[in-house]
Chain A
Amino acid sequence: GAGVSQSPSNKVTEKGKDVELRCDPISGHTALYWYRQRLGQGLEFLIYFQGNSAPDKSGLPSDRFSAERTGESVSTLTIQRTQQEDSAVYLCASSLHLAGQETQYFGPGTRLLVL
C-alpha cells in the first residue's frame, strides 16, 4: 500500500499570500500529525488529529496557521498572510493510533519558500 503523500512537493509564494498544504495519510491510520522543519532547526510539532477527538493545536505558532482533517482521511494545513519566517519544510505523518507505542510514518514533505 501507498505511504503518506503530500502535495505540492514544492511551493514558492509571495509574502502576504495564503497557501494550502495537503496530506494523504496511510489508509486506516486514525492519527495524523503536522510538523515544521526550518533550515538548521529540528522538527517542531504543530498539530495532531486523532479520530473524531478535538485536535491538539497547541503547537501552531500563530493564528495565521490552521488545519483541518476530513474524518480519518485527507488533512489540509493552511497558512494565511504568509511571512518569510514561514519558509520551511512541512512534514505530515500518520500512525495507526495515537498512543506512542506505534511508529509514525512520514511523508516526503512540502518545501515552502516565502519571498
Chain B
Amino acid sequence: KQEVTQIPAALSVPEGENLVLNCSFTDSAIYNLQWFRQDPGKGLTSLLLIQSSQREQTSGRLNASLDKSSGRSTLYIAASQPGDSATYLCAVWGRGSTLGRLYFGRGTQLTVWP
C-alpha cells in the first residue's frame, strides 16, 4: 500500500522567509503528484499538479519538484506571507488497479507570523 510522509509536521517562520516542505512516497509507480492547501473549516484547494513525466511545476511563489525514482517531492514557497498560513498536503495518484485514488500525507502545518 502506498505510504506518503511529510516533513516537517509543523513549521513556524517569520514573514519573508523562503520555505521547503518535503514529501516522500513508498511506491514510485504513481500517476501524478498533487499539492493541496487546507484552511480550517474549508475544503482542500489544489496548488500544483505534477504529472509523472514532469519534474517540476511553478505557480507564482510556489514551485514543486518531483523525483519519482527516489520517491520524493518538495514544495518551495518563496517570500512567505502570513496569508500562506495553512496546512499543506501532498498526495499521490495511484495507477493501474488504484487509478482514481489519492493517497495523502498527514500534512505540514505552516504558520507565518508578521
Contacts and interface: CB of A to CB of B under 8 A. Distances in A.
Interface of A: 3-4, 31, 33, 35, 40-45, 48, 50, 56, 59, 91, 93, 98-101, 103-109
Nearest to A43: B104
A107 B104 contact: no
B interface residue count range (under 10 / 10 to 19 / 20 to 34 / 35 or more): 20 to 34
Interface in B9-51: 31-32, 34, 36, 41-46, 49, 51
Interface string B90-114: 0101110001111111110000000
24 contacts: A41-B106, A42-B4, A42-B105, A42-B106, A42-B107, A43-B89, A43-B102, A44-B104, A45-B101, A45-B103, A48-B101, A50-B100, A56-B101, A91-B43, A93-B43, A100-B32, A100-B93, A101-B32, A101-B51, A104-B46, A105-B46, A106-B36, A107-B43, A108-B41
A98 B8 CA distance: 31
Interface in B33-73: 34, 36, 41-46, 49, 51
Contacts of B42: 108
Given A59-B101, A107-B43, 7 more contacts: A33-B102, A40-B106, A42-B107, A43-B89, A44-B104, A56-B101, A103-B46
B108 to A, nearest CB: 12
B46 A98 contact: no
Nearest to B93: A100
The main secondary structure of chain B at its interface with chain A is strand
B99 A42 contact: no
A4 B46 contact: no
Interface of B: 4, 31-32, 34, 36, 41-46, 49, 51, 89, 91, 93-95, 99-107
Contacts of B103: 45
Nearest to A92: B43
A31 B46 contact: no
A100 B104 CA distance: 14
B100 A33 contact: yes
A104 B94 CA distance: 14
